């Protein structure tokens, strides 16, 4: 879809940039890096694939920095304002800690409950990530590098679980095994819900690997398995790191999935705290620990990723990778995608189908469903548009006027978006209640939360398409007598529209499946699909919840397709 | 002794025959160059020998052992054949030292010591050992790739246009250095290039390739002065091809009566002269009339030489570079002398 229309415009520059940012999209849909490091994050993605980092640098030097001082300083001001708003939740948590005072803080943090939660969280992450990584690498290898029957189909099936919101996954498992609970269940459901986040970048990285390196390694005497271990795996490292960080942040932020199977994490504990006693201070301290966990993940990822370059060195286009002939192994290997699909898609389909049939026509309470649908679409559209609009200034700056400041700002956005929804919501609730009550539970506040959480999704799409519009067009328009703003509007903005549309779509996808912050912040009387689903399952009305789950899946489908399509396009194949 | 033997090797990509019956025998310790225009199948041939692809027909045998035939294919990692690819193909995630040590089976200290030795051998500074490949120039990358392949002491080394990334000056120097290294190590080498000068300078044996076949295989001097046909002749260097009637070891041609290298042949045939066999003098100065008389139709000054087109009395014409010290101009009459025998295309 999207970028097609602006293709021919600047062919030589287009590819590296587009690849880079789109990959980043897959990797870091909604998370970031430590202060000022956001761009590194986007850069990793570059290294994941072979998209050349240098292309950005060339662009940097190619773009004139001295033009339009007023226009860019205005843009910068807006970008700074957005960054300040985005960092508000993080700032709030720190502020709350300071206000609480050391003694109380230490008392609230170093207690058994927090220890239990921490053990749960650490075990969850430590068990889920390796399983996801192994599954993603195995599936990516099978679909990209072997002649397994229906490779393309299985590749779609490996991405399709993203259409099912995480909490619908656990709803489906509970439907089959009502007693499911605890760590084992948490790991199992997390793996099926989130492994596509690793599969996407890893399979893209497989497509971008230069098979000549593998040939070379063989000529140096390495047997096939050694080649995989010493040449292929190291080059997948960045994709694996990026995917692992994304999954890790999701695990920290997820509420519905774990609440449904009664597995306690910081997020579920904060929400319990918030709903039952509104014990502010205890909730803030849990949030602080949660934020610290995020920082640990970000730091670990940055350390593991390293600084080295993984791009291909050679010139020309890499030859296509040879497909491994499986021969007799063809059918045994099919078990892998089959079993994966059975758990990640079969179970949701089975449970949903069962409830839909069991519920019959009675569960289709059209009025309520219609209202929820309408409200969801409205809030997705408003949220998506606002998020994208908020990303425009920084996207334009980072492409057209890349400076230290713009890189730092980008880093701020990524950092802010890696904060779990519950922290963002908690902060906004407290701030509005205490300081600006009229804004409490209004559309404005919830939209701000979405902007904070999903801005990077819009940013990567926008950056990619702005980078495709040659700056010369803007200059040509200016030389034809347009004012700077008008020139910008009539060239770059017009031509970047497809990227903006993708940005709106991808942030909307996030908003539609968002439950935590939405529940805490939604204006009175709002009932989105996710909220209605959650309310019904809480009343153990599993049949009644089924239509809402179905609708969420159906609306997620085109957006997931978009995500997969973009990751294919990155590899140019 | 023959180290590598190829017989009627074929490889198709879909309907394209990349290799169409290639036969070659490479003596141990020799240097063989395969030269041919872009797309003629040179890389394909090396990939088959290295074991990266399977031939569709024919056999490859190495040191008396069959590496590949219609049914059997020995995997690349068991062949012990080194290859330096067109762009070096260094592992981007490893340092130079790790790249060189990649294929060695030894302890870390041994590897590092050996890497340092190899760096000296290929003429690179040891300080580069800790760098990443992207911090090296193209030529340096290629030499590291050579060092990496040498580290395993292969008996056969395949070089795929290893000098194409270098500029002209560095190219000759690197070629010389590489030749020395390989000769010193006694490694049989198969070099692929599309630069005929490089092939002739490098090899003991040259194979001229065209559209998936070998047009001619022989010593550099042989293929240069006795090419099988006009296309081969012009591919290997400037050639003047003229029609002639041949008999008794002499040819009656537009350039007069010339000696030929084929005494047995009689009848009409094309003959070839290399430009260095031809000398021109201003007509009327030398006095005695030896050789044919021609006219300078066009002349372009190119520094040390002038590029001239000479027309002969029978209205045929040919191009030639002549030293620019003699100031000819268009329309001048010249006398054309020929030394050595002309080559006959039978
Ligand atoms: N993987 C492939 N699929 C289809 N055709 C191929 C493939 N690889 C090579 N060919 C074709 O085979 C022929 C020989 O290619 P090869 O790479 O061996 O040429 P080359 O002589 O090495 O050329 P160059 O000097 O440009 O490197 C070409 O016509 C090429 O188009
Ligand atoms: Mg080639």
Q: For B82, list phi and psi in degrees, rounded to 5.
A: -85, 150
pLDDT at residue A109 in the model? 82
Summarize pLDDT for B26-69 with one digit per residue, the tens.
Answer: 999 999 999 999 899 999 999 999 999 899 999 999 998 999 98
Q: Which of A219, A234, A312 sits opposite B83 (nearest CB)?
A: A219
Q: Cα(A472)–Cα(B95) distance, rounded to whole angstroms?
A: 40
**Cα atoms found within 13 Å of the Cα of residue A263, Cβ hemisphere only:** 30
Hey, are the CB atoms on B149 and A220 less than 8 Å from each other? yes
Query: Across the interface, which of A224, A309, A316 has its CB nearest the CB of B134?
Result: A309
The stretch A160-167 carries a mean pLDDT of 90
Give yes or no for a contact between A518 and A531, defined as CB atoms under 8 angstroms apart.
yes
Whole-number CA gyration radius for chain B: 25
Residue A317 is predicted with a pLDDT of 67
Instruction: Report residues near ion ligand 2: CB below 5 Å.
Output: B 43
Ligand 1: distance of its center to the CA of B146 in Å? Answer: 23
B259-308 pLDDT per residue, tens: 888 888 888 999 999 999 988 888 765 555 567 888 899 999 888 888 99
Nearest-CA residue for atom 19 of ligand 1 = B39
Distance B207 CA to ligand 1 centre (A): 18
Which residue among B50, B82, B92 sits closest to A310, beta carbon to beta carbon? B92
- Residue closest via CA to ligand 1's atom 5 equals B13
User: Which residue in A440, A413, A556 sits closest to A78, CA to CA?
Assistant: A413
Tell me whether A392 touches chain B (CB under 8 Å): no
Residue A220: is its pLDDT beyond 80? yes
Residue A567 reports pLDDT greater than 70: no
Whose C-alpha lies nearest to ligand 1, atom 3?
A: B13
**If you measure from the C-alpha of residue B53 to the centroid of ligand 1, how many angstroms do you get, rounded to a whole number?**
13
B171 pLDDT above the threshold of 90: no
How far is Cα B269 from Cα B265, in angstroms, rounded to an integer? 9
Report the alpha-carbon distance of residue B178 to residue B172 in Å, rounded: 10
List CB contacts (< 8 A) between A215 and chain B: 47, 50, 52, 76
**DSSP characters for A312-364?**
--SSSPPPPPPPBP-GGGHHHHHHHHHHHHIIIIIHHHHHHHHHHHHHGGGG-
Cβ under 8 Å to A: B residues 309-328: none
Q: Which residue of B has its CA nearest to A223?
A: B77
* Residue pointed to by tokens 């293709």: A7
- Residue B140's pLDDT is 86
Whether chain A has a CB inside 8 Å of the CB on B147: the answer is: no
Rounded Cα gap, residues B52 and A294, in angstroms = 45
Best residue among B9, B11, B12, B13 to mutate for probing ligand 1's pocket (most ligand atoms within 8 Å of CB) is B13
Pocket of ligand 1 (CB under 6 A): A 319; B 13, 16, 18, 36, 38-44, 194
Alpha-helical regions (H) of A254-321: 256-260, 266-276, 280-305
Provide the pLDDT for residue A37. 30
Distance of CA B39 from the midpoint of ligand 1 (Å): 5
DSSP 8-state secondary structure symbol assigned to residue B162: T
Mutate to test the interface with B, among A217, A221, A224 (most CBs of B within 10 A): A221
pLDDT of residue A70: 58
Q: What sign for the dihedral angle of Cα A263, A265, A271, A273?
A: positive
Per-residue pLDDT, A192: 95
Pocket-testing residue among B43, B213, B235, ligand 1, by greatest number of atoms within 8 A of Cβ = B43
Residues of B in contact with A235 (CB under 8 A): 92-93
The DSSP bridge pattern shows strands B2-13 and B16-27 to be: antiparallel
Instruction: Share the mean pLDDT of chain A.
Output: 80
Instruction: Average the pLDDT over each of A32-46, A72-86, A116-130 and give the range with the smallest value.
Output: A32-46
Predicted local confidence at residue A246, as pLDDT? 85
* Of B77, B87, B141, Cβ closest to residue A222: B77
Q: Which of B83, B132, B149 sits opposite A309 (nearest CB)?
A: B132
Q: How large a percentage of chain B has pLDDT more than 70? A: 98
Report yes or no: A221 at the B interface, CB cutoff 8 Å: yes
Looking up tokens 């809402």 gives A548
Q: Please report the atom of ligand 1 found closest to the CA of residue B45.
A: 18
Buried b (16+ CB within 10 A) or exposed e, B310-323: bebeeeeebebbbe
**Interchain proximity A213–B80, CB inside 8 Å:** no
Q: Give distance in angstroms: CA of B88 to centre of ligand 2.
A: 13
For residue A125, pLDDT beyond 90:
yes
**DSSP secondary structure string for all residues of A117-174:** HHHHHHHHHHHHHHHHHHHHHHHHHHHHHB--TTHHHHHHHHHGGGGS-HHHHHHHHH
How far apart are the CA of B54 and the nearest CA of chain A, in angstroms? Answer: 11
- Between A524 and A335, the more confident residue is A335
Q: Which of residues 61-100 of B touch A (CB under 8 A)?
A: 75-83, 85-94
DSSP state for residue B275 in the 8-state scheme: G
Nearest-by-Cβ selection for A216 from B75, B79, B85: B85
Dihedral (CA of B41, B46, B49, B52) sign: negative
Contacts of B79 in chain A (CB under 8 A): 219
Q: What is the pLDDT of residues A242-296, one digit of tens each?
A: 889 889 988 998 898 999 898 999 999 888 888 776 667 888 888 888 889 988 9
pLDDT greater at residue A492 or residue B100: B100
Record: contact B92-A212, CB cut-off 8 A? no
Tell me which of B22, B41, B86, B158 to substitute to probe ligand 1's pocket, judged by most ligand atoms within 8 Å of the beta carbon: B41
Mean predicted confidence (pLDDT) in A191-210: 88
The preferred substitution site among B42, B84, B161, B195 for testing ligand 1, maximizing ligand atoms within 8 Å of CB, is B42
CB A146 within 8 A of CB A326: yes
Q: Classify domain A16-570 at the CATH class level.
A: mainly alpha
Q: What is the ipTM of this complex?
A: 0.80
Confidence of residue A442 (pLDDT cuts 50, 70, 90): confident
Q: Do B77 and A221 touch (CB under 8 A)?
A: yes
**The pLDDT value given to residue A64:** 43
The predicted structure's pLDDT at residue A39: 28
DSSP, residue by residue, A78-117: HHHHHHHHHHHHHHHHHHHHHHH-HHHHHHHHSSHHHHHH
């Amino acid at each position: 879809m999207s970028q097609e229309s602006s293709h021919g415009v600047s062919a030589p520059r287009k590819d590296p940039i587009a690849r880079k940012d789109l990959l980043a999209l897959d990797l870091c849909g909604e998370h970031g890096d430590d202060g000022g490091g956001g761009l590194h994050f986007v850069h990793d993605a570059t290294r994941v694939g072979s998209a050349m980092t240098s292309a950005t640098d060339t662009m940097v030097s190619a773009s004139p920095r001295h033009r339009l001082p007023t226009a860019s300083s205005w843009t910068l001001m807006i970008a700074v304002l957005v960054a300040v708003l985005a960092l508000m939740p993080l700032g709030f948590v720190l502020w709350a800690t300071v206000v609480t005072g050391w003694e109380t803080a230490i008392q609230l943090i170093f207690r058994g409950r927090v220890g239990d939660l921490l053990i749960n969280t650490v075990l969850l992450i430590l068990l889920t990530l390796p399983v996801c990584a192994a599954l993603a690498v195995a599936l990516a290898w099978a679909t990209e590098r072997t002649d397994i029957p229906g490779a393309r189909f299985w590749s779609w099936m490996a991405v399709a679980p993203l259409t099912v919101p995480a909490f619908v996954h656990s709803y489906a498992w509970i439907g089959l095994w009502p007693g499911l609970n605890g760590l084992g269940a948490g790991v199992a459901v997390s793996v099926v819900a989130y492994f596509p986040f690793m599969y996407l970048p890893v399979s893209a990285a497989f497509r971008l690997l230069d098979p000549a390196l593998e040939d070379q390694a063989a000529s140096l005497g390495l047997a096939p398995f050694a080649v995989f271990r010493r040449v292929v795996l190291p080059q997948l490292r960045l994709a694996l790191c990026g995917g692992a960080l994304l999954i890790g942040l999701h695990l920290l932020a997820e509420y519905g999935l774990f609440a449904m199977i009664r597995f306690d994490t910081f997020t579920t504990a904060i929400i319990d705290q918030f709903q039952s006693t509104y014990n502010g201070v205890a909730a803030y301290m849990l949030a602080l620990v949660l934020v610290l966990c995020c920082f640990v993940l970000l730091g670990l990822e940055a350390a593991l990723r390293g600084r080295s370059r993984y791009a291909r060195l050679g010139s020309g286009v890499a030859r296509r990778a040879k497909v491994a002939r499986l021969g007799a192994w063809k059918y045994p290997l099919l078990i892998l995608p089959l079993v994966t699909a059975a758990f990640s898609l079969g179970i949701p389909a089975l449970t949903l189908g069962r409830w839909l049939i069991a519920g019959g026509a009675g569960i289709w309470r059209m009025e309520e469903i219609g209202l929820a649908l309408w409200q969801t679409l409205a809030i997705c559209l408003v949220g998506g548009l606002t998020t994208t609009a908020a990303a425009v200034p920084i996207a334009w700056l980072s492409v057209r006027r890349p400076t230290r400041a713009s890189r730092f700002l980008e880093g701020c956005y990524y950092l802010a978006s890696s904060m779990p929804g519950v922290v963002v919501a908690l902060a906004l609730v407290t701030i509005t209640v205490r300081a600006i009550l009229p804004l409490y539970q209004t559309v404005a506040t919830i939209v701000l939360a979405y902007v904070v959480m999903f801005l990077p999704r819009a940013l990567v799409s926008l950056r990619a398409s702005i980078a495709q519009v040659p700056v010369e067009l803007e200059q040509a328009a200016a030389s034809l007598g347009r004012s700077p703003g008008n020139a910008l509007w009539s060239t770059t903005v017009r031509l970047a529209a497809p990227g903006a549309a993708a940005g709106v779509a991808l942030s909307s996808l996030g908003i539609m499946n968002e439950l935590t912050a939405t529940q805490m912040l939604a204006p009175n009387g709002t009932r989105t699909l996710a909220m209605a689903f959650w309310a019904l399952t809480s009343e153990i009305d599993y049949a009644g919840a089924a239509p809402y789950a179905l609708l969420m899946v159906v609306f997620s489908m085109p957006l997931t397709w978009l995500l997969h399509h973009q990751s294919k396009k990155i590899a140019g194949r | 002794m023959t180290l590598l033997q190829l017989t009627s090797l074929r490889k198709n990509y879909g309907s394209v025959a990349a290799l169409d019956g290639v036969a070659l025998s490479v003596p141990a310790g020799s240097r063989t160059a395969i030269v041919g225009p872009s797309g003629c199948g040179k890389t394909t041939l090396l990939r088959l020998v290295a074991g990266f692809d399977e031939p569709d027909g024919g056999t490859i045998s190495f040191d008396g052992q069959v590496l590949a035939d219609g049914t059997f294919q020995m995997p690349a990692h068991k062949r012990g054949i080194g290859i330096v690819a067109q762009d070096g193909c260094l592992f981007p995630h490893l340092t130079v030292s790790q790249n060189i040590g990649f294929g060695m089976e030894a302890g870390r200290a041994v590897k590092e010591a050996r890497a340092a030795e190899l760096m000296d051998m290929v003429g690179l500074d040891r300080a580069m050992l800790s760098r990443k490949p992207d911090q090296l120039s193209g030529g340096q990358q290629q030499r590291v790739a050579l060092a990496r392949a040498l580290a395993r002491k292969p008996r056969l080394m395949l070089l795929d246009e290893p000098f194409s990334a270098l500029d002209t000056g560095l190219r000759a120097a690197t070629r010389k250095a590489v030749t020395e290294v390989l000769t010193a190590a006694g490694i049989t080498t198969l070099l692929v290039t599309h630069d005929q000068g490089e092939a002739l300078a490098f090899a003991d044996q040259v194979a001229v390739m065209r559209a998936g076949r070998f047009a001619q295989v022989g010593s550099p001097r042989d293929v240069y002065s006795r090419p099988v046909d006009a296309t081969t002749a012009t591919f290997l260097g400037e050639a003047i091809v003229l029609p002639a009637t041949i008999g008794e070891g002499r040819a009656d041609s537009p350039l007069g009566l010339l000696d030929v290298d084929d005494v047995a042949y009689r009848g009409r045939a094309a003959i070839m002269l290399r430009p260095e066999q031809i000398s021109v003098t201003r007509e009327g100065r030398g006095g005695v009339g030896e050789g044919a008389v021609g006219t300078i139709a066009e002349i372009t000054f190119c520094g040390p030489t002038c590029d001239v087109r000479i027309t002969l009395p029978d209205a045929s014409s040919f191009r030639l570079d002549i030293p620019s010290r003699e100031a000819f101009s268009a329309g001048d009459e010249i006398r054309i002398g020929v030394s050595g025998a002309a080559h006959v295309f039978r």
